[in-house]
Amino acid sequence: MKRLALRLGGIVVVILAATSFAWWILHLLRPNLFPAESGGLIGRYGHFLDRAFLHFDFGDSNSGSRRPVADLVREGAPADVSVLAGGLVFGLVAGVAGGVACARRPRGAVSRALQGVGLVGMCTPVYVVGLMSLLLFGAEIGRVQPLGLGIPLRYVPFGDSATGWLGALVAPWIVLGLPLAGMCLRVMQGQMIEVAGEEYVDVARAKGLSEARIRRRHMLPPALAPTLMLAGSSTPLLLTNVVLVEKVFSVPGVFRDLSQAYGGANIPLILGMTAVGAAFIGVTTLLFDLALTWLDPRIRAGQTAR
């Protein structure tokens, strides 16, 4: 519990540091965008911290509906969480499964095909993949719609329809997770091949265990740990791609209007987005750290020793 409390405290520090950094940079580089207030920069900074982190008040948006940023965050954050979590899960699961399949026969046709798909996923921008998907399979606009199925063009909240929500997010999850899947596939394949030469794997074979059980019990856990580390460190990249994916698929998340916020100098919304993004990265990093602690006994042993 103490370690968990420290990690949660670390997330708060990350959110505070990221938002404070953005506040200071904006005030120092563009002071003309802010109204003159008494108390100087230090006083204004303290007032901002009090409003933002004690009352969750970033002010009102300067464009559009001019609603409070806190309300926009509350309404858009569930969609952001859905897109980011689904993309992470798809990328990690697809990359791990593909890496295991490639490691079984590294020079086989299936392995080469999967590596080719992974390479395309890493090299092609997500907005290109997303737009191509809509142009080919978009409902009512796609050129190719097998069996009458198409990618929905409208986001459906989970509270309105669970199946509609799932159908609207399957394509964004795949598009967002493809770059991560390609990276995880390469790492997982290399780790599985490396682990296959370890002595404990030879001992397991000597005991007569099946290859499937050896891969599952003796090779997968140590090979999975570096892959989880890669996925955790790739969260900022995925969060950047969330902005593009939400724009392409019209997902009403917090980050969908990021470009307009920067173009229109919508400072309250920019600061709110910064806090939300830092929170997503901090929580995701914590979850991956907990998964690594559970998966790798060496990490647990090191924590116990301390």
DSSP structure string for 86-149 = HHHHHHHHHHHHHHHHHHHSTTSHHHHHHHHHHHHHHHS-HHHHHHHHHHHHBTTT-S--GGG-
Non-local CB neighbours of 23 within 8 Å, separated by 6+ positions: 45, 48, 271
pLDDT, tens digit only, all 306 positions of the chain: 666 677 778 888 889 999 999 888 888 888 777 766 656 788 888 888 888 888 888 888 887 667 888 898 898 889 999 999 999 999 999 999 998 888 888 888 888 999 999 898 888 888 898 888 888 888 777 777 665 667 888 888 888 888 889 988 999 999 999 999 999 999 998 888 888 878 888 888 888 888 788 887 878 888 888 888 888 888 888 988 998 898 888 888 888 877 777 777 888 888 898 999 999 998 998 888 888 887 766 565 555 444
Strand partners, 138: 151
Determine contact, residues 231/288, Cβ cutoff 8 Å: yes
**CA neighbours within 13 Å on the CB side: how many for 188?**
31
Nearest to 99 by CA among 193, 174, 175, 176: 193
Strand partners, 60: 68
pTM for the predicted model, two decimal places? 0.85
Distances (CA, A) of 258 to 44, 102, 190, 267: 24, 39, 37, 11
